[in-house]
């Protein structure tokens, strides 16, 4: 096989701003060379076999690896026949040295594809409510790096001329030299009263913005403690921020929210939290793996071989679909041999089943849990004398299997995947809770609750009581109550986005009642 390199722009910070083509490139990567500014959440889009290499570049700070070494590593992997994704913050060709990396590929005869990204030059001001062009205030803009020292010879960056050449000036990587840059702009004739803003961690729930007249901006930035990464905007368009700022108005803006779900499954919940303005803090309390014990694999394989003999296939979670399908495909087959009825606990599970090539006949509605699904299976047709297959986890509940057996059915309940406890830095978790930096805690299964509680000391457990606690459904809520934790939020349907909607509604209600809501 011949390898290739794909330069992918990761966007300004929010992983949801990756392009569709960028996500597709990650999905077929063998090796990913990623910058520190490209969020690691994007790595969940890569296949399990992919190699991850942090090359550590953070703007003007010293890189973990020199550029020549990054180029050599990139070419080495591509020559070995691998698909190499070079994941870069923002856009590869906007002060990202993507041109140098593309040239290295061209010189080496390695195919290179460019996937543009959402540049922080336009996205970060947009998240601050600042359009870099607006016919009322500015029809032209320039983007410039502040990394170069403005005191060096004029051929580097002609700040004096640049300051009056365009209506809006966007400066990237300029925080270290901000005072000298502003001095040069003022000396070149830019009005000291020009509206200006510095935006730190733009597009994230931790975004901070400082506005000031140009002459006062460096002092205001220093006083507020802003640092890199940050984007500076100079121009009349900054006046529009007061009117159209939107990101800070999202219901969970600035709130740090603990996500305890398995890393591979956390993307939907994390995305919903980010959309509401929160900062997801991913600390997985469970890890889902395929079974490895011979006896369990034999039972699972026997069930797959006997698929034509089952009348019903019951999925109490999307994980059951994924792992059953993966095992079937690993043996050179698929689930198409099944001809009976397929029952799914909710629409998300149904969608995964459809993607696996299965028909879906019944989806639990209303109460989308094991009890609700059991009721709908029994309503669909008499269970007596019929044979059902239930792929489940090694710690899965037996509600459906017991109910079907009680109704006279034959039930094969097989372990399709295992629920493990990953390594968690308990000391750091307790410190986060005790310091009050977490505003809300989310739980999506009883096993996430059990592991979380087992990690806490008494002080951290008391501190957890000061957070908003959200459970995805009634079963998880019951697990919290068993540990003496009363959930504040339980959505009407057990779905990650419904959980975030319910959490947002709770925060809005608290604010409407003039209660203090600390976003932490």
* pLDDT value for 96: 86
Distances (CA, A) of 240 to 4, 127, 195: 44, 12, 10
Catalytic residue among 57, 91, 167, 495: 57
What lies within 8 Å, CB to CB, of 393 at 6+ separation is 288, 317, 319, 320, 415, 416, 417, 418, 419
Q: What's the CATH code of the domain at 231? A: 3.30.950.10
Domain that holds residue 451: 256-286+423-512
Which residue is listed with tokens 């505003």? 439
Catalytic residue among 35, 167, 325, 369: 35
* pLDDT value for 310: 96
> Residue 82 and residue 264: Cα distance in Å, rounded?
23
Are residues 103 and 169 part of one domain?
Answer: no
Residue numbers of the chain with a pLDDT score lower than 70: 1, 37-38, 57-64, 148-156, 366-368, 515-520
Structure tokens that stand for 484 in this block: 């003496």
Are residues 298 and 266 part of one domain?
Answer: no
Are residues 173 and 94 part of one domain?
Answer: no
Position 386 in a domain: yes
Structure tokens that stand for 239 in this block: 């006046």
> Residue 237 and residue 247: Cα distance in Å, rounded?
17
Distances (CA, A) of 429 to 259, 300, 434, 459: 12, 37, 9, 12
Are residues 427 and 415 part of one domain?
Answer: no
- Alpha-helical (H) ranges within 85-132 are 98-108, 120-127
Position 226 in a domain: yes
Are residues 101 and 67 part of one domain?
Answer: yes
Per this entry, what is the length of the chain? 520
Position 395 in a domain: yes
Judge contact between 160 and 167, C-beta under 8 A. no
Indicate if 35 belongs to the active site.
yes
Catalytic residue among 30, 74, 173, 200: 173
Judge contact between 53 and 73, C-beta under 8 A. yes
Are residues 465 and 413 part of one domain?
Answer: no
| Count of structural domains, the chain | 4
Domain final residue, candidates 117, 137, 169: 117
> Residue 472 and residue 317: Cα distance in Å, rounded?
13
Are residues 359 and 393 part of one domain?
Answer: yes
Indicate if 57 belongs to the active site.
yes
Are residues 407 and 299 part of one domain?
Answer: yes
pLDDT digits (tens, 9 = 90+) for 24-69: 999 999 999 998 766 778 888 888 788 999 887 665 455 567 889 9
Domain final residue, candidates 249, 274, 299: 249
Judge contact between 189 and 165, C-beta under 8 A. no
> Residue 279 and residue 238: Cα distance in Å, rounded?
25
Please spell the DSSP secondary structure of 447-466, one letter per residue: HHHHHHHHH--HHHHHHHTT
Position 32 in a domain: yes
Interior/surface letters 134-157, b for 16+ CB within 10 angstroms, e for the rest = beebbeebbbbebebebeeeeeeb
Are residues 303 and 361 part of one domain?
Answer: yes
Position 517 in a domain: no
* Phi, psi (rounded to 5 degrees) for 212: -170, 160
CA atoms lying within 13 Å on the CB side of residue 102: 15
Rounded to the nearest 10 degrees, the angle between the axes of helix 178-187 and helix 217-224 is 170
Position 400 in a domain: yes
Are residues 282 and 301 part of one domain?
Answer: no
> Residue 469 and residue 314: Cα distance in Å, rounded?
31
- CA 63 from chain center: how many Å? 24
Domain final residue, candidates 187, 222, 249: 249
- CA 251 from chain center: how many Å? 18
Position 483 in a domain: yes
User: In sequence order, what E strands does 80-140 have?
Assistant: 83-88, 112-115
Are residues 134 and 236 part of one domain?
Answer: yes
Q: What's the CATH code of the domain at 323? A: 3.40.50.10090
Are residues 350 and 435 part of one domain?
Answer: no
* pLDDT value for 154: 41
> Bridge-partner residues for 232, per DSSP?
171, 198
Position 495 in a domain: yes
Q: What's the CATH code of the domain at 29? A: 3.40.1010.10
* DSSP tag of 63: P
């Amino acid at each position: 096989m011949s390898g290739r390199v794909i330069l992918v722009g990761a966007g300004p910070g929010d992983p949801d701003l990756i392009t569709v083509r960028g996500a597709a490139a990650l999905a077929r990567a063998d090796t990913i060379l990623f910058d520190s500014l490209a969020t690691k959440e994007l790595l969940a889009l890569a296949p399990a076999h992919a190699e991850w290499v942090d090359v550590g570049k953070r703007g003007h700070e010293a890189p973990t690896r020199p550029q020549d070494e990054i180029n050599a590593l990139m070419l080495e992997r591509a020559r070995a026949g691998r698909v190499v994704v070079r994941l870069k913050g923002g856009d590869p060709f906007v002060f990202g040295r993507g041109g140098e990396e593309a040239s290295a590929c061209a010189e080496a005869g390695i195919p290179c594809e460019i996937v543009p990204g959402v540049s922080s030059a336009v996205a970060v001001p947009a998240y601050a409510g600042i359009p870099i062009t607006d016919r009322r205030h500015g029809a032209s803009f320039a983007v410039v790096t502040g990394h170069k020292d403005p005191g060096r010879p004029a051929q580097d960056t002609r700040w004096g001329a640049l300051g009056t050449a365009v209506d809006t000036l966007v400066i990237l990587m300029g925080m270290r030299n901000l005072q000298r840059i502003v001095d040069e702009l003022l000396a070149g004739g830019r009005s000291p009263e020009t509206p200006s803003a510095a935006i730190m961690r733009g597009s994230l729930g931790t975004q901070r913005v400082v506005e000031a007249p140009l002459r006062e901006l460096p002092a205001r930035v220093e006083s507020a403690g802003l640092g890199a990464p940050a984007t500076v905007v100079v121009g009349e368009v900054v006046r529009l921020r007061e009117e159209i700022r939107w990101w800070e108005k999202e219901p969970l803006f600035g709130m740090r929210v603990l996500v305890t779900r398995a890393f591979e499954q956390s993307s939907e919940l994390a995305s919903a939290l980010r959309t509401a303005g929160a900062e997801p803090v991913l600390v997985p309390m469970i890890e889902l793996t395929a079974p490895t014990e011979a006896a369990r694999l034999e039972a699972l394989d026997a069930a797959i071989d006997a698929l034509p003999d089952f009348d019903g296939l019951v999925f109490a979670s999307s994980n059951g679909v994924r792992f059953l399908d993966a095992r079937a495909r690993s043996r050179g087959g698929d689930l198409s041999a099944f001809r009976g009825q397929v029952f799914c606990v909710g629409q998300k599970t149904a969608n995964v089943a459809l993607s696996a090539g299965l028909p879906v006949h019944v989806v639990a509605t209303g109460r989308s849990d094991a009890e609700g699904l059991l009721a709908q299976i029994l309503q669909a047709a008499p269970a007596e004398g019929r044979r059902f297959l239930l792929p489940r986890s090694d710690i899965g509940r037996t509600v459906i299997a017991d109910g079907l057996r009680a109704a006279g059915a034959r039930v094969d309940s097989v372990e399709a995947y295992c629920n493990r406890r990953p390594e968690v830095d308990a000391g750091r978790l307790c410190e986060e809770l005790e310091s009050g930096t977490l505003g809300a805690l989310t739980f999506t299964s009883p096993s996430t609750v059990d592991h979380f509680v087992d990690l806490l000391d008494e002080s951290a457990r008391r501190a957890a009581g000061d957070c908003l606690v959200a459970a995805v459904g009634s079963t998880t809520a019951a697990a919290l109550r068993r540990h003496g934790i009363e959930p504040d939020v339980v959505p009407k349907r057990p779905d990650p986005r419904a959980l975030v909607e319910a959490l947002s509604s709770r925060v809005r209600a608290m604010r409407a009642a003039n209660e203090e809501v600390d976003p932490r």
